[in-house]
């Protein structure tokens, strides 16, 4: 342990203990979402299941709710509902990661956890695009999943292919066919987004074996890539910066046809989420299904989160199961474990208002146009004739600067599911064919819910 790590291991728990009472008193603290104990959260990292325990790491800045130098926080669960806070596992305490232990992923093999991540360095000179920045591929190992045994730098910027900017980051690793692969997001020197594919026989020595890109206009930087096979189809997931979309940045996937190691074609880019707050998702398999968490936030957004004034900001989405649709698109549905949060069902008649607690689930089978209003200021509307969906805030304070998002469905809306926590809504349409996620900030206490156009079922949600 070096001196910086020693001091950080002392200062982070101290900061958490000092700020926790103020943070815990905030009525907008979530009840069943992963959130930082204090400070700032962003990308989910290192998702995996070891034995009966799920491990979720995330980007964490405990000293400033508006962000700062990042480290890896760590929570564990056996049921995807109750999450236990573990000590911070990765600190920015080496010369190769001294400006942040940035995003990455995990591989568990032979009793050891391998954490691949980006070591960020910002130099005082340069434009911080093609000069003045270093993004290193780093590796940390752990035998107990709680403390780090070794840390090393595997690749520097100079080891990446020619023609790239300084922006190469966010390794996602997996094992396949007796080999190891990882993908990293990249920005070329002339401002095109792409994904680099690396291969290894030992997890220590990596060589570049392919580059994934497309002529589609999908931005200058592809962050947080994830490449996986699902039911025989490959998908490349990424969060492009610089593409035209409603949010500051996009987040979605390409179906990949062919061989990611050789000849391939990327299909049409699909957005994963059409709401205000969704970015940098990561998926993993628990041996039965592919699950995904996303950051319920958006970098560089014009809107804000009032929780920052209470000493904390952001959360992750609920775990979502990914499945393949007949047209090779992805469906996202809340993990089945979340049904255990349900209390006694309550009927919500069409065109009537029901007051419920701040945490609830709503389900409906609409046969035409509908309009859902939550907390008298968040409106989800659907027009059957045009198949258009709109999510808009009519109360500016409720959305804290969020205004409107919209989309057009491929098929008529015949299924609506909403998960509401104290300060978020996740909306699933047509079995997860379209999803909208947003933070919102209602007044403390019960929330009025009204659905015009169709009946619905409401469940209060609570951790028992």
Active site residues: 43
Question: Which DSSP category does 461 fall into?
Answer: B
SS3 category, 261? coil
User: Between vectors from CA 45 to CA 88 and to CA 264, what angle results, nearest 5°?
Assistant: 160
Please name which of 428, 381, 135, 376 lies closest in space to residue 272, comparing C-alpha atoms.
428
Q: Are 50 and 286 in contact (CB under 8 A)?
A: no
- Cα-only R_g, the chain: 22
Separation between Cα atoms, residue 315 and residue 301, nearest integer Å: 15
| Residue 310 backbone dihedrals phi, psi, to 5 degrees | -100, 5
Please name which of 219, 212, 355, 286 lies closest in space to residue 55, comparing C-alpha atoms.
286
What is the CB neighbour count within 10 angstroms for residue 72? 23
Task: Name residue 200's beta-bridge partners.
Answer: 180
Give me 452's structure tokens: 């015009």
Give me 403's structure tokens: 């205004």
295 HSE (CA, 13 A, CB side): 26
CA dihedral angle for residue 336, residue 338, residue 341, residue 345, rounded to 10 degrees: -60
Question: Which DSSP category does 60 fall into?
Answer: E
Q: Is the four-CA dihedral 389, 319, 248, 325 of positive or negative sign?
A: negative
Please name which of 332, 233, 212 lies closest in space to residue 283, comparing C-alpha atoms.
332
Spatial strand order of the sheet with 320-324 comes to: 279-285, 290-295, 320-324, 330-334
In sequence order, what DSSP letters do the residues of 436-459 get, joined into one string?
EEEE--PPSS-EEEEEESS-EEEE
Give me 446's structure tokens: 């019960």
Separation between Cα atoms, residue 321 and residue 323, nearest integer Å: 7
In sequence order, what DSSP letters do the residues of 374-399 get, joined into one string?
ETTTEEEEEETTTTEEEEEESSHHHH
């Amino acid at each position: 342990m070096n001196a910086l790590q020693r001091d950080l291991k002392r200062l982070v728990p101290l900061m958490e203990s000092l700020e926790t009472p103020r943070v815990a008193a905030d009525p907008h603290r979530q009840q069943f979402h992963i959130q930082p104990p204090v400070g700032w959260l962003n990308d989910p990292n290192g998702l995996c299941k070891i034995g009966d325990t799920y491990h979720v790491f995330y980007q964490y800045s405990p000293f400033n709710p508006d962000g700062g130098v990042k480290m890896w926080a760590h929570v564990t669960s056996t049921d995807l509902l109750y999450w236990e806070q573990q000590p911070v596992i990765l600190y920015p305490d080496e010369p190769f990661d001294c400006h942040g232990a940035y995003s990455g992923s995990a591989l568990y093999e032979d009793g050891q956890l391998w954490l691949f991540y980006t070591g960020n360095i910002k130099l005082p000179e340069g434009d911080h695009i093609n000069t003045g920045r270093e993004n290193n591929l780093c590796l940390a190992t752990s035998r107990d999943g709680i403390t780090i045994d070794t840390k090393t730098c595997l690749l520097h910027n100079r080891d990446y292919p020619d023609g790239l900017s300084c922006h190469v980051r966010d390794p996602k690793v997996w094992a396949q066919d007796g080999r190891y692969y990882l993908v990293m997001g990249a920005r070329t020197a002339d401002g095109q987004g792409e994904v680099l594919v690396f291969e290894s026989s030992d997890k220590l020595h990596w060589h570049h074996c392919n580059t994934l890109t497309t002529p589609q206009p999908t931005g200058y930087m592809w962050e947080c890539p994830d490449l996986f096979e699902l039911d025989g189809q490959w998908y490349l997931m990424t969060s492009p910066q610089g593409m035209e979309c409603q949010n500051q940045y996009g987040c979605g996937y390409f179906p990949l046809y062919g061989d990611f190691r050789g000849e391939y074609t990327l299909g049409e880019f699909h957005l994963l989420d059409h709401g205000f707050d969704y970015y940098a998702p990561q998926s993993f398999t628990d041996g039965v299904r592919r699950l995904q968490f996303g950051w319920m936030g958006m970098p560089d957004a014009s809107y804000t989160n009032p929780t920052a004034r209470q000493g904390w900001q952001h959360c992750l989405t609920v775990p979502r199961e990914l499945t393949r649709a007949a047209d090779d698109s992805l469906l996202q549905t809340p993990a089945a474990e979340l049904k255990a949060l349900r209390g006694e069902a309550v009927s919500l008649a069409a065109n009537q208002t029901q007051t419920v607690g701040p945490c609830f689930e709503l389900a409906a089978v609409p046969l035409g146009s509908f309009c859902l209003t939550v907390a008298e200021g968040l409106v989800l509307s659907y027009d059957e004739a045009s198949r258009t969906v709109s999510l808009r805030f009519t109360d500016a304070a409720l959305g804290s600067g969020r205004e409107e998002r919209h989309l057009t469905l491929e098929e008529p809306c015949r299924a609506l599911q909403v998960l509401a926590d104290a300060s978020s809504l996740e909306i699933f349409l047509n079995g997860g064919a379209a999803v909208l996620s947003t933070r919102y900030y209602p007044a403390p206490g019960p929330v009025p819910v009204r659905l015009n156009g169709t009946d619905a079922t409401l469940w209060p949600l609570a951790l028992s």
